[in-house]
């Protein structure tokens, strides 16, 4: 299963680069989705950290509970693919 994740982390960003080099609209779409995912994940983290501090507790289960939150997990998964996409894209883009 780890091998599947590793292959997907290599293949999906390369597919994204291929699509982005074909269309500027796709590139903008990838950037907009990344911004929304960043703010979604950051909001979940901030809310859970605030709730943990408000209760004056730092149990491991409370701290790691936000990692299982779908509003954090899915946007973070996209960002985990988006960051390699940006790096691959910078290698393949033409500099003026």
Q: What is the pLDDT of residue 69?
A: 85
Six token digits for residue 39:
């703010």
What percentage of the chain reaches a pLDDT higher than 70? Answer: 93
Counting Cβ atoms within 10 Å, is residue 80 exposed (0-12), middle (13-18) or buried (19+)? middle
**pLDDT (average), residues 16-34:** 96
Q: Which of 36, 61, 66, 64 is nearest to 48 (CA)?
A: 66
- What's the mean pLDDT when you consider all of the chain? 89
* Residue 48 parent element (H or E): helix 24-54
């Amino acid at each position: 299963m780890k091998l599947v994740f590793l292959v997907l982390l290599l293949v999906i960003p390369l597919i994204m680069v291929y699509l982005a080099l074909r269309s500027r609209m796709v590139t903008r779409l990838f950037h907009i989705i990344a911004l929304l995912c960043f703010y979604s994940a950051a909001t979940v983290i901030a809310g859970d950290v605030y709730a943990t501090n408000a209760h004056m507790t730092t149990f491991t289960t409370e701290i790691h509970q936000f990692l299982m939150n779908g509003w954090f997990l899915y946007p973070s998964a996209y960002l985990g693919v988006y960051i390699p996409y940006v790096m691959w894209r910078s290698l393949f883009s033409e500099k003026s």
